[in-house]
Amino acid sequence: MNTKIINDIEYIIYKSGMIINDCKKSYYFENDLFYNEDVKCLHFYAIKSINIKGHQYVGGNQYVGGNQYVGGNQDVVGYQCVEGNHDVVGYQDVVGNQYVGGNQYVVGYQHAGGNQYVGGNQDVGGNQYVGGNQDVVGNQYVGGNQYVVGNQYVGGNQYVGGYQYVGGNQYVGGNQYVGGYQYVGGHQDVVGYQDVRYIYLHLYCKYPILIDRDSDFYKIGCVKKTESEWISFFINKETINLSFDNRNYKKIEMAFNVAKLMKQHLILMNDKK
Question: Within a domain: residue 70?
Answer: yes
Please report, as a single letter, which amino acid is at residue 231.
Answer: I
- Same domain? 141 vs 236: no
* pTM, full prediction: 0.89
- Same domain? 145 vs 188: yes
CB 150 within 8 A of CB 132: yes
- Same domain? 218 vs 160: no
CB 94 within 8 A of CB 112: yes
Question: Within a domain: residue 146?
Answer: yes
Question: Within a domain: residue 63?
Answer: yes
- Same domain? 221 vs 157: no
Q: What is the largest CA-CA distance in the chain?
A: 82
Q: In this predicted structure, what is the pLDDT of residue 200? A: 87
- Same domain? 59 vs 149: no
Question: Within a domain: residue 117?
Answer: no
Question: Within a domain: residue 265?
Answer: yes
| Cα–Cα dist 36/86, whole Å | 18
Q: Which residues of the chain have pLDDT under 70?
A: 272-273
Range of the domain at 26: 1-108
- Same domain? 4 vs 64: yes
DSSP-derived secondary structure letter, 119: S
Listed residue (62, 111, 67, 97) closest to 85, CA to CA: 67
- Same domain? 4 vs 98: yes
Question: Within a domain: residue 240?
Answer: yes
Instruction: Mark which of 108, 141, 161 sits at the end of a domain.
Output: 108
- Same domain? 54 vs 90: yes
- Same domain? 73 vs 96: yes
Question: Within a domain: residue 174?
Answer: yes
Q: In this predicted structure, what is the pLDDT of residue 244? A: 72
Instruction: Mark which of 141, 166, 192 sits at the end of a domain.
Output: 192
- Same domain? 211 vs 188: no
220-264 tens-digit pLDDT: 989 999 999 999 999 998 887 777 777 888 889 999 999 999 999
List all residues 6 or more positions away from 110 whose beta carbon is below 8 Å from its beta carbon: 91, 92, 93, 124, 126, 127, 128, 129
Number of domains in the chain: 3
Instruction: Mark which of 192, 212, 231 sits at the end of a domain.
Output: 192
Question: Within a domain: residue 54?
Answer: yes
- Same domain? 16 vs 103: yes
Taking the CA atoms of residue 208, residue 213, residue 214 and residue 217 in that order, the dihedral angle to the nearest 10 degrees is 30
Sheet hosting strand 80-82, strand order edge to edge:
3-6, 9-13, 27-29, 44-46, 62-64, 80-82, 98-100, 116-118, 134-136, 152-154, 170-172, 188-190
